[in-house]
A and B are shown apart, each in its own frame.
Chain A
Amino acid sequence: MISKLLSRITLWRAIVALIFATGIYAAYARFALGFQQSTNLADPQPWGLWVGLGTLCGVGLSAGGFAIAAAVYLLGFERYRPVLRTAVLVSFLGYLTVIVGMMYELGLPWRIWHPIVMWNRHSVLFEVSWCVMLYTTVLALEFSPSLVEKIPWVRLRDLYLKWHHEILIALVLIGTVLSSLHQSFLGGLYLMTKGKLDPLWYSTYLPSLFYLSAIPAGLAATLVAIYLSVRSLNVRLDLSIMSEISRVIAPLLCIYALFRGVDLFTHDGWRYLWMWREETLSFWLEIGLFVVAPVVLLSREKIRTTPIYLYWTCCLVVMGFMANRLNVSITGLQASSGFYYVPKWTEFALTFATIAAAVLAFRYAVLYLDILPKNMPANRWIADRAAEA
Chain B
Amino acid sequence: MENSKAILVDITKCIGCRACEQACKELHGFPLATEAKLSTTALTVIEERGDKFVRRLCMNCHDPACASACLVGALKKTSLGPVTYDASKCIGCRYCLVACPFNVPRYEWSKLVPFVKKCDMCFERQSKGQPPACVEACPTGASIVGNRDQILEEAQRRIVLDSKYVKHIYGEQEAGGTSVFFISDVPFEKLGFVAAPQQPMPVLTANALGDVPTVVLVGGAMLSGMYWITQRRRQVALAEAQEKSNSEKGS
Cβ-neighbour of B201 out of A180, A192, A337 (below 8 A): A192
- Provide the A114-137 mask, 1 if CB < 8 A to any CB of B, else 0: 110011111111111100000000
- If the complex has contacts A70-B223, A126-B71, are A47 and B94 also in contact, measured as CB distance less than 8 A? yes
User: Can you name the residue of chain A whose Cβ is closest to the Cβ of B233?
Assistant: A76
Q: Taking chain A's interface residues, is the majority helix, strand, or loop, or is none over half, making it mixed?
A: helix
- Give the number of residue pairs across the A-B interface with Cβ within 8 Å: 163
Cα separation A124 to B92 with both chains bound (whole Å): 16
Please name all residues of chain B whose beta carbon is closer than 8 Å to the beta carbon of A32 when the two chains form the complex: 112
Please name all residues of chain A whose beta carbon is closer than 8 Å to the beta carbon of B230 when the two chains form the complex: 74-76
Please name all residues of chain A whose beta carbon is closer than 8 Å to the beta carbon of B125 when the two chains form the complex: none
Please name all residues of chain A whose beta carbon is closer than 8 Å to the beta carbon of B95 when the two chains form the complex: 123, 125, 189, 192
Please name all residues of chain B whose beta carbon is closer than 8 Å to the beta carbon of A112 when the two chains form the complex: 91
Task: Let me know if A272 is at the binding interface, CB within 8 A.
Answer: no
- Provide the B83-117 mask, 1 if CB < 8 A to any CB of A, else 0: 00000011111110111010101110111111100
Q: Decide if B227 touches A169 in the complex (CB within 8 Å).
A: yes
Total number of B residues with any Cβ neighbor in A under 8 Å: 55
Within residues 360 to 376 of chain A, which ones have a CB less than 8 A from any CB in chain B? none
Total number of A residues with any Cβ neighbor in B under 8 Å: 57
Cα separation A312 to B102 with both chains bound (whole Å): 43
Cβ-neighbour of B114 out of A34, A42, A76, A180 (below 8 A): A34
Please name all residues of chain B whose beta carbon is closer than 8 Å to the beta carbon of A121 when the two chains form the complex: 209
- Provide the A168-203 mask, 1 if CB < 8 A to any CB of B, else 0: 010001001100110011001101111110000000
Please name all residues of chain B whose beta carbon is closer than 8 Å to the beta carbon of A44 when the two chains form the complex: 103
Q: Decide if B216 touches A120 in the complex (CB within 8 Å).
A: no
- If the complex has contacts A76-B230, A177-B223, A192-B201, are A207 and B70 also in contact, measured as CB distance less than 8 A? no
Task: Let me know if A238 is at the binding interface, CB within 8 A.
Answer: no
Cβ-neighbour of A192 out of B65, B72, B115 (below 8 A): B65
Within residues 6 to 41 of chain A, which ones have a CB less than 8 A from any CB in chain B? 31-36, 39, 41
B40 to chain A, nearest CB (A): 9
Q: Decide if A188 touches B208 in the complex (CB within 8 Å).
A: yes
Q: Decide if A127 touches B219 in the complex (CB within 8 Å).
A: no
- Provide the B216-251 mask, 1 if CB < 8 A to any CB of A, else 0: 100110011011001001100000000000000000
Q: Decide if B219 touches A191 in the complex (CB within 8 Å).
A: no
Cα separation A44 to B115 with both chains bound (whole Å): 16
Q: Decide if B110 touches A122 in the complex (CB within 8 Å).
A: no
Q: Decide if B227 touches A173 in the complex (CB within 8 Å).
A: yes
Please name all residues of chain A whose beta carbon is closer than 8 Å to the beta carbon of B197 when the two chains form the complex: 194-195
Cβ-neighbour of B69 out of A42, A118, A124, A194 (below 8 A): A124
A217 to chain B, nearest CB (A): 20
Q: Decide if A177 touches B220 in the complex (CB within 8 Å).
A: yes
Cα separation A124 to B205 with both chains bound (whole Å): 7
Q: Decide if A188 touches B223 in the complex (CB within 8 Å).
A: no
Q: Decide if B92 touches A194 in the complex (CB within 8 Å).
A: no
Interface hit among A103-111, A284-292, A302-310 = A103-111
Please name all residues of chain A whose beta carbon is closer than 8 Å to the beta carbon of B91 when the two chains form the complex: 106-109, 111-112, 114-115
Q: Decide if A207 touches B195 in the complex (CB within 8 Å).
A: no
Cα separation A43 to B105 with both chains bound (whole Å): 8
Cα separation A107 to B116 with both chains bound (whole Å): 10
A-B contact pairs, 10 of them (CB 8 A): A34-B110, A35-B107, A36-B109, A118-B74, A125-B69, A125-B70, A176-B219, A181-B215, A194-B101, A194-B201
Name 7 extra pairs, CB < 8 A, besides A118-B72, A204-B204.
A46-B94, A107-B114, A108-B113, A114-B91, A115-B72, A122-B67, A129-B71
